[in-house]
Amino acid sequence: MPYAWVALGGAMGSVARAWLSTMAGAWLGNAFPWGTLVINIAGSAVIGWYAVAGGEHGWLTATDSSRAFVMAGLCGGFTTFSAFSLQTLTLFQTGQAGRAVAYIGASVALCLLGVWLGAILGRG
């Protein structure tokens, strides 16, 4: 059953991402990827808020299904950068600054490498 909640949240997050990206482009122009930046910031804020408010010591009662809906589904469909941000914060907060920095560096470098290789392969 949690997968159904992830799917529903993912669908809603994807639609919200498409809408906000279009709106940001219309409001701010397309010379800079404002839509993606705004989406990544908003998604990171939502997942951070929900992780704390709905966490073990939070004030919000969150079930496994609601966590799956919001964190994996809604935020995941909206932006996977939110998961990266939360995982990086957790590493810092648990005293693993070296791993956090390594994760940041590896994510940026390897994802850029991945997109570059994908673009090469896509050219045929």
pLDDT the model gives residue 94? 95
Give this prediction's pTM.
0.79
Q: Tens of pLDDT along 24-41?
A: 999 999 888 888 899 999
> Does the residue 60 lie in any domain?
yes
> Does the residue 38 lie in any domain?
yes
> Does the residue 56 lie in any domain?
yes
**DSSP per-residue codes, 49-63:** HHHHHTSTT-SS---
**Which residues form the domain of 24?**
2-79
> Does the residue 91 lie in any domain?
no
For residue 38, which phi and psi values (nearest 5 degrees)? -65, -45
> Does the residue 26 lie in any domain?
yes
Indicate the number of domains in the chain.
Answer: 1
pLDDT the model gives residue 57? 86
> Does the residue 110 lie in any domain?
no
